[in-house]
Amino acid sequence: MIYNEVETAPRSELRELQDERLQETVETAYEEVPFYRELLEERGITPDEFRGVEDITDLPFTTKEDFRDTYPDGMFAVDHDEVRRIHASSGTTGKPKIVAYTDDDLDVWKEVVARCLAAGGVEPGDTVQNAYGYGLFTGGQGLHQGIEELGATVIPIGGGQTQRQIELLQDLESDVIACTPSYALYLDETAEEMGIDLEELPLSTVMFGAEPCTDPMREAIEERLGVNGIDIYGLSEIIGPGVSNECHEVQDGLHIFEDHFYPEVVDPSTGEPLPEGEEGELVLTTLSKDALPVLRYRTGDLTTLNYEECDCGRTMVRMDNVTGRADDLLIVRGANVYPSEIEDVVLEFEGVEPQYRIDLYQEDNLDRIEITVELAEGFTGDADALHDEILERLKNVLVFTPDELDLVEYGSIERTEVGKVKRVYDHR
Ligand code: DLL
């Protein structure tokens, strides 16, 4: 189901809307946010001369450090009495990024999340269990309002309480669960311990997001839970969940709701725009945010844009699913590797679980990388042979040999029940 006709608008119409909204956004940023006025003035940009999308690369970038430097509200474009809601994204270090919404912003937010759900095949009348955390994190509230907006039933259980989640999935016959990909796998493990087979339940869709999910990880979710996995993407600085979503009809990339968020892909090291189809860092500009307009935000997320028409009828550009961030890049003895490359290799093997961790150490000024992977439940094969096979494959794919590969017993890697999974531990 297509939730809003604009999703199928001819691209020329969309472009007119983007031009108009981008001009307004630049004007608001200039007039209302001293932080932006200074940056725009430095570049000689005035709102009356700014023409729209064709001039977008003249605009300055915004970075996560800018949020930190202007903490808590230095980027707000409205007075406090117009702010109806605050959320925050928990940084692992330093202050969180505070984000704000006016009434109109909340309306846009719930509408784009409703579009995501509809794109994912969720229908009015469906029951959706929302297992994203409520609170300052945008996942819980963001999904919640979108589910209601669509006309579906929301079960606002939030993160954790895994046994309860499973009982509710059973008793309320939920059609959909919204949660992180790692939590979807954890649900399945817990259900198994409870003697429940999730495949037997009416559950048909997992709306997974907030974390990277490689193809083998998605396959594991789909197979084990007997569901269709749909990828939902977003970030607090831009709005929260609802920036883009996969369509269930085609499932080849996530449609970005370009009437509200303008995407670019740039070279992560130089910031130079990249041609269509090349992988780089996603940069997003808000086109309709009132409380917190954001110009050219460096998301850190690596993706590719695809403007080809999609068979689902949506004309909005698709981004590849995000399996890594520019700042995830691990530099090990001078060689570059993304954790997702390691995940891709390891999960090719039948005898292991989609549970792993990567530890980096420094010894005598040399980097050491250790990879720990769980053996599949009830593994009875030859673990030594499997170890050698995985190591050989890692050697072939990576540009260096991991110092250690440990295959550990099923269940020995800690699971994440609430929040985002952590797989890389850099002790250097
Ligand atoms: O994670 C918003 C969200 C909630 C999205 C629920 C989807 C579902 P933040 O906490 O600000 O917001 O984290 C944003 O998480 O820049 C990506 O690195 C990562 N991320 C979000 N969605 C995906 C996804 C929420 N579908 C950061 N695939 C982003 C991969 C994702 N990474």
Tokens of 36: 């932006």
Cα-based distances in Å from 205 to 122, 176, 218, 300: 8, 5, 12, 28
Question: What per-residue confidence (pLDDT) applies to 124?
Answer: 98
Q: Which of 252, 253, 202, 194 is nearest to 226 (CA)?
A: 202
* List of E strands, 44-172: 85-89, 97-101, 127-130, 153-155
Q: What topology is assigned to 329-426 in CATH?
A: GMP Synthetase; Chain A, domain 3 (3.30.300)
DSSP string, 298-325: EEEEEE-EE-S--TTS--S-EE-----B
Work out the percent of the chain whose per-residue pLDDT is above 70: 99
For 103-153, write each residue's pLDDT tens digit.
999 999 999 999 999 999 999 999 999 999 999 999 999 999 999 999 999
Which ligand 1 atom is the nearest neighbour of the CA of 97?
A: 11
Q: Residues 366-376: what's their mean pLDDT?
A: 96
Contact present, 158 and 134 (Cβ < 8 Å): yes
For 184-210, write each residue's pLDDT tens digit.
999 999 999 999 999 999 999 999 999
Confirm or reject: Cβ of 236 under 6 Å from ligand 1: yes
User: CB under 8 Å to 122, separation ≥6 — which residues?
Assistant: 128, 147, 150, 152, 175, 176, 205, 207
Ligand 1 mean position, distance from CA 48 (Å): 35
Confirm or reject: Cβ of 211 under 6 Å from ligand 1: yes
Question: What per-residue confidence (pLDDT) applies to 300?
Answer: 96
Tokens of 385: 């042979």
Q: Enumerate the domain spans of the chain.
A: 1-322, 329-426
Confidence check: pLDDT of 90 > 90: no
Which ligand 1 atom is the nearest neighbour of the CA of 207?
A: 8
Q: Residues 159-167: what's their mean pLDDT?
A: 96
Confirm or reject: Cβ of 235 under 6 Å from ligand 1: yes
By residue count, the chain amounts to 428
Tell which one of 64, 301, 416 to mutate to probe ligand 1, the residue whose CB is within 8 A of the most ligand atoms.
Answer: 301
Work out the percent of the chain whose per-residue pLDDT is above 90: 93
Q: Identify the CATH assignment for 1-322 out of 3.40.50.12780, 3.40.50.1110, 3.30.70.260, 3.40.50.620.
A: 3.40.50.12780
